[in-house]
């Protein structure tokens, strides 16, 4: 049987994994932009809008990423 503490810990672990994956994704987007990949292609591949890609490029994306 799973306890409330175990369930809560699973949520905390999943959030940590999400934050790490998101950070990795944003770094990959920045590297791709620096390498000449265009915002439209990155939009298609990342499922973000071109406008959001531009915010990431311009440093206006989420804090701490």
Q: How confident is the model at residue 2 (pLDDT cuts 50, 70, 90)?
A: confident
pLDDT tens, residue by residue, 3-51: 999 999 999 999 999 999 999 999 999 999 999 999 999 999 999 999 9
Report CA torsion sign: 41, 44, 45, 48. Answer: positive
Q: Is the pTM of this model over 0.85?
A: no
Query: Over 70: is that where the pLDDT of 64 sits?
Result: no
Please state, rounded to an integer, the average pLDDT across all residues of the chain: 94
């Amino acid at each position: 049987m799973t306890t409330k503490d175990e369930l809560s810990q699973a949520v905390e672990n999943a959030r940590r994994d999400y934050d790490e994956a998101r950070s990795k994704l944003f770094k990959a987007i920045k590297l791709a932009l620096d390498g000449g990949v265009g915002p439209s292609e990155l939009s298609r591949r990342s499922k973000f809008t071109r406008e959001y890609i531009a915010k990431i490029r311009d440093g206006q994306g989420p804090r701490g990423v």
